[in-house]
Structure 1
Amino acid sequence: DDDAPEPSTPPDAETQIAPSPKARRASIGFVGGGAMAEAIARGFVAGGAARFSDLAVSHGSDPATAARWRALDVDVLSSNAEILDRCDVVFFAVKPHILPNVLNECGAHVDVDRHLFVSVAAGVSSAFIEDSLKKAASKGIAPGRPGPGALPSSHKKETEKNTRVVSVVTPKVVRVMPNTPCLVGEAASAACKGSAASDEDVTFVVELMRSCGLCLNVSSESLLDAVTGVSGSGPAYAFLFIEALADGGVAAGLPRSTATVLAAQTVLGAAKMVLETGEHPGALKDKVCSPGGATIQAVRALEQRGFRSAAVEAVLASAAKSRELGIESEKQHRGK
């Protein structure tokens, strides 16, 4: 979510890991320079997939955002079109309601043989992104560029409900739902390809995202709303839980700094046990809960106050909002 806090100080240039040859096969650009884009960029650098000097970003008109990226030694460009002209892999890292205008601006600069688009905008379908880029391309061809793979004039035109679309080759799009722990190399992301992207394209994106944490290739794009609910929004739930644990520690007499460190490490350690042992979380919980002990009384208190139900409802609310954001974004664009 682009409303996340701004990441902290970048790693020193001396500590940046040299990118692997495979990771450097393509230049990477970000359309949108908010917190999510920055977290991903920092993750790529820390994970060895790129150097800051290999990246480019377009930032709108915010001087503070531009200054922050320049401080990282990232090439800051003045327009979204320049990102497409320079970069092979283009991340659309803007809010869903902004994405339609971005696509309209970029369409005439698409080169389908070169560009791979990665969208991190919650809820906006790859089909909408593909169609929007094709429609924008049909309105004009960028100077010096042949346009997005225009087919021979004898080829029939495609039609959509109430909309005529000039038939151009469909751009390659992969949707990704990342989260802000990209910043520390512990992301939980999922990816799904659009209609024109190949298995190789989505594999490349998954490997790129794995430079900053876990990334799974999900079978159906409809699952990405659920991914948003679990892992996209999940860091906020975890931060809230850590804060609440620390508050409890303070209430019980611990200094704030001690309580916070203990709470954060406890959540980290519990998560590692789930991932590394392969045991069901419920089974691991049962091992901590001795008969008549303190922990089972604490679990009872959580259950009495609806802890489990609240977590489930949080995921469903986030997933529903993700779907809503996509529908509203697409509806507003089609209404123009």
Structure 2
Amino acid sequence: MAKIGIIGIGNMGYAIAKGLLKQYGKEDIVFTDVNQDRCAQVSKELGIDWVKTNQECAKLATYIVLAVKPQYFDPLLEQLKDTVTEKNVIISIAPGITTTQLKEKLGEEKRVVRAMPNTPALLGEGMTGVCYDEKSFSDEEKHAIDSIFTSLGKMRIVEERLMNAVVCVSGSSPAYVYLFIEALADSAVKYGLPRDAAYEMAAQAVVGSARMVLETGEHPGALKDKVCSPGGTTIAGVSALEEFGFRNAVIKASDACFKKCEKI
């Protein structure tokens, strides 16, 4: 019997599966997806077994990760409500769908974990916000939940009321970072830098800057100030970003993301 079952092997499900392999054996994981060609492809690549139905996947696993898009949750939960038991740990990664809503569909006795990982889990560099009712889980189960998400990168326990904010700052934000890298690289290509060098330099600048925040513990504003020499090139660039609404654009993106979570 597998320890972890993944229902849905799209971009996020695949990232979770690949991240889990950094800590778990191939025999510990099973998955399924409606696209059976995709299942065969992923199984061949990762060496993980797959099954044809959601119910079969749920029966084979203790920890069941629901990695399908929110619009497909109602039929999925209808399929699973008579298959999963109170012995299972149901892990939902759907934005906007609450624990209460999940239990209404699956049964009040079912035990649910909500999580919001992101696609850098593919490389073991993910960030996952997690919430669950700790008194409903044994110490062994809580350790397993921690182990699942730390195998994907970093994790942080948050209150459920904050999960939509987690979607904004972590779940969706890699897309914003990719846009920034692309735009920054384009700006260098404009002045003659080869595109491959521009992408490498822009991406590494993001990686290095992020590590500075995480490892020094300094406020991002203080780190920014250290790069901005008086009357220098960097402060000229920062001034232009402020002039054209850089911070406001980022905050507006989070506003739009948050509102979309509330509507799901």
> Is the pair's TM-score, using the shorter chain for normalization, greater than 0.5?
yes
Q: Is the 8 A contact 2:32 2:51 kept in 1?
A: yes
Letter in 2 for 1:185: G
Render the CA deviation track for 1:164-217: whole Å, top value 9, x for unaligned: xxxxx6111000000000011110111001587337444532332011211000
Equivalent-residue separation in structure 1 for 2:98 and 2:136 (angstroms): 14
Asked whether 1:80 is paired with 2:20, we answer no
- Equivalent runs, 1:1-336 vs 2, <5 Å: 27-46=3-22, 48=23, 50-60=24-34, 62-71=35-44, 72-112=46-86, 114-134=87-107, 170-194=109-133, 197-198=136-137, 200=139, 201-218=141-158, 220-325=159-264
Render the CA deviation track for 1:214-253: whole Å, top value 9, x for unaligned: 10000x2121101001100011011110111100110121
RMSD of the TM alignment (CA)?
A: 1.7
Aligned-residue offset at 1:87: 0.5
Bigger Cα displacement from structure 2, 77-86 vs 197-206 = 197-206
Which contiguous aligned blocks of 4+ residues in structure 1 show a shift greater than 2 angstroms?
A: 51-54, 194-204
Normalized per residue, the structure richer in helix is: 2
Equivalent-residue separation in structure 2 for 1:195 and 1:317 (angstroms): 31
Equivalent-residue separation in structure 2 for 1:295 and 1:199 (angstroms): 52
Which of these two proteins has the greater Rg computed from alpha carbons?
1
Tell me the number of residue pairs that the alignment of Structure 1 and Structure 2 aligns.
Answer: 262
Change (3 A) 1:38 1:31: same
Q: Is the 8 A contact 2:6 2:30 kept in 1?
A: yes
**TM-score, structure 2 as length reference:** 0.95
Matched residue of 2:155: which SS? strand
List runs of 5+ in structure 2 lacking aligned partners: none
List runs of 5+ in structure 1 lacking aligned partners: 1-24, 135-168, 326-336
Residue identity (%): 40
Equivalent-residue separation in structure 2 for 1:323 and 1:195 (angstroms): 25
